[in-house]
Amino acid sequence: MVNHTSGPLGSANQEIRAAIDAFVEGRRAGRRLPSLLERTDAMLTELETLNLLKVRRAPASWYSELSALVTDLPFEYQPRIAQHPSPTAAIDVVFEIQGGLFRLMASTEFEDELLEAPS
């Protein structure tokens, strides 16, 4: 019986598995970024409405939503904001997060273009 876990065949199997895993992770990340942007857009819509209504403080539920979003971000981010900020201050934080997401998306697209470029 042939052993597929050692020797040249085993090495090839490991390389194939690693490539598949990297591909799957890349696809997952590619779907995750747009989903995170949709969440930030929804937050901005809510905050802009509060701002137009001249509400002085974002609701406590907003801070929980922000905490959940920050936990899901694919980069490190520590929001510098009070627990009950004004809608305008909260909007600024969401814009910072969107900036990080857009930078990440742009760098990913740039890397994809490099991979697709003829050598």
Task: Tell whether the model's pLDDT for residue 115 goes beyond 70.
Answer: no
Count CB atoms within 10 A of the CB of residue 85. 19
Residue 20 lies in a domain: no
Tell whether 5 is covered by a domain: no
Number of structural domains, the chain?
A: 1
Residue 22 inside a domain? The answer is no
Q: How far is the CA of 66 from the CAs of 6, 36, 77, in angstroms? A: 48, 11, 11
* pLDDT category of residue 114 using cuts at 50, 70 and 90: very low
In a domain, 60, yes or no: yes
Q: What is the pLDDT of residue 32?
A: 84
Q: Lowest mean pLDDT of 77-81, 87-91, 115-119, name the range.
A: 115-119
pLDDT: which is higher, 18 or 66:
66
pTM of the model as a whole: 0.67
**Rounded-to-integer distance, Cα 78 and Cα 101, Å:** 14
Question: How far apart, in whole angstroms, are the C-alpha atoms of residue 30 and residue 101?
Answer: 11
Determine the pLDDT at residue 73.
94
Termini Cα distance of the chain = 41
Q: Is residue 85 part of a domain?
A: yes
SS3 content of the chain, % helix, strand, coil (to 5): 75, 0, 25
The label of the residue with tokens 């929001």 reads 79
Query: Does residue 107 fall inside a structural domain?
Result: yes
Domain of residue 76, residue span:
33-116
Q: Is 90 in contact with 58 (CB distance < 8 Å)?
A: yes
Could you tell me if residue 15 is inside a domain?
no
Residue 50 lies in a domain: yes
Whether residue 112 contacts residue 29, with contact meaning beta carbons closer than 8 Å, is answered with no
